[in-house]
Chain A
Amino acid sequence: MVNIVRSLLYFVLLVLVQILILNNIHFLRLVTPLLYIYFIIKLPTGYSSVRVTCLSFLLGLVMDMLSNTPGMHAAACTLAGFARPYIINVLMRENLPENTIPSFRTFGYGNFVRFALLFVILHHVALFVIESLTLFDPLFLAIRILGSIAMTTAFICVAESFNRRTRKNED
């Protein structure tokens, strides 16, 4: 129950932050951080693959409706959400407690950053390649992908470290 409320809160909050604030950031007129996928990263590992994929699709669809890009975010999010359990499996082969939420504390710094990075790479490459179906320009595409990956990963790490501090204060 707590997990569902927490996920719902993350969903609404991240979509609003993305639409109202982050979509207005165009660093060097190239790079926009896409923090909203932090929602998928923070889903508990206990969720079934079906559930994660559905939630990812839903998140992408809402983003699409709010940014006039039918299908693009949905396709990229579905792919990333579907691959998430496999990424976690590869990185955290050793015993992970049942139903943990990925964070610095549960995954350790290195593994969390690696996990976030792999996840962001997968999502961004899919998103930008789909977007460039209308207009193909390899160098420009590569710069945009690399810049956005760096920026989004940085934002996720910042969000995560803030998250950790508040959690500690509560304890």
Chain B
Amino acid sequence: MRRLLDFLIAKRHWFLFLLLELLSFVLIYRSNAYQQSVMLSTANVMTANIVSLAGSVTSYINLRDRNRALIERNGQLEIELLRMQRRIEMMAADTTSFHGFAGGSPEDHFPYDVIISKVVNNSVTYLSNYITIDKGRNDGISPDMGVVSENGVVGIVSTVSDHYSVVMPLLNPKSRLSCKVLGSSYFGSMSWDGRSTQYAKLDELPRHVEFKEGDTIVTSGFSAIFPEGIMVGYVSSFERQRDDNFYSLTVRLTTDFHRLSSVMVIRNFRQSEQIQVEQEARSNG
């Protein structure tokens, strides 16, 4: 007995080592579940304050480029608005009985609004990347909301604390996004292969969908997270998958994840309703 105790005491650093490694791996595997702990992430107020230090400095550095991008985007939207107005006017002039927008305002059919928020921490070098933003539960953010930048889709909110949230961007092997080729209604699933921050893969697109290199990829709107038609990227190359019935596309992302400084969180007022109805359908079926 005494010798056993002596042995245990002599080798205590081995036991400590094994214990700590075990603890680390518990953390690793628990975080692979979809929700990671708020305590041990940058959504924690203390750590978020530290990392936002860096964010507040770097957000000034590329202000000029940001401004230019915003002005360009603004111009595009203005042109689009004019085109739409013109089309509505033409339709109204052409037909005496146009009911397209009758019966309630267009807002009724568009249950989304956005929350502007600043990026305080951003990683692109790891395999599993995360972005921290400075809006949280108190600002109306909850998990599973979509996040976009002015250039396109960024990711989906994964963890929320009172004042901060952690976003899982497209640059994370765990993220999946339902996308389609603009103009068609067949959709595929977008994921990231961990290599370049500029490209992602769109799989499971049926083979009979017609497209060519340079075509636009947008969100499909099926997930209740993003509205339909938000910019994701352009087709850069494609190949058939092994089973030959699907295409696998390489997509050049329009979002530059290296220089995100402000993002918009999309809130869908009817998301919970849609999810509830879908769950009911599944349990009935």
Residues of A whose CB lies within 8 Å of any CB of B are 16, 19-20, 23-24, 26, 29-30, 32, 48-50, 53-54, 57, 60-61, 64-72, 74-75, 78-79, 82, 130-135, 137, 140
Contacts and interface: CB of A to CB of B under 8 A. Distances in A.
A67 B31 CA distance: 13
Closest 7 CB pairs of A and B: A71-B27, A75-B24, A71-B28, A49-B13, A68-B130, A70-B31, A74-B24
B173 to A, nearest CB: 4
B20 A74 contact: yes
Contact of A72 (B28, B41, B50, B197): B28
A135 B12 CA distance: 35
Contacts, number: 114
B12 A50 contact: yes
A135 B195 CA distance: 11
**Size range of the chain B interface in the assembly:** 35 or more
Chain A interface, >50% SS class? helix
A90 to B, nearest CB: 17
B13 A82 contact: yes
Nearest to A31: B125
Given A53-B13, A74-B27, A130-B28, A68 B194 contact: no
B51 A75 contact: no
Interface of B: 12-13, 16-17, 20-21, 23-32, 36-37, 40-42, 44, 47, 50-51, 53-54, 58, 121, 123-128, 130, 132, 166, 173-174, 193-197, 258
- Among B30, B127, B166, B174, max chain A CB count under 10 A is at B127
Contacts of A78: 17, 20-21, 24
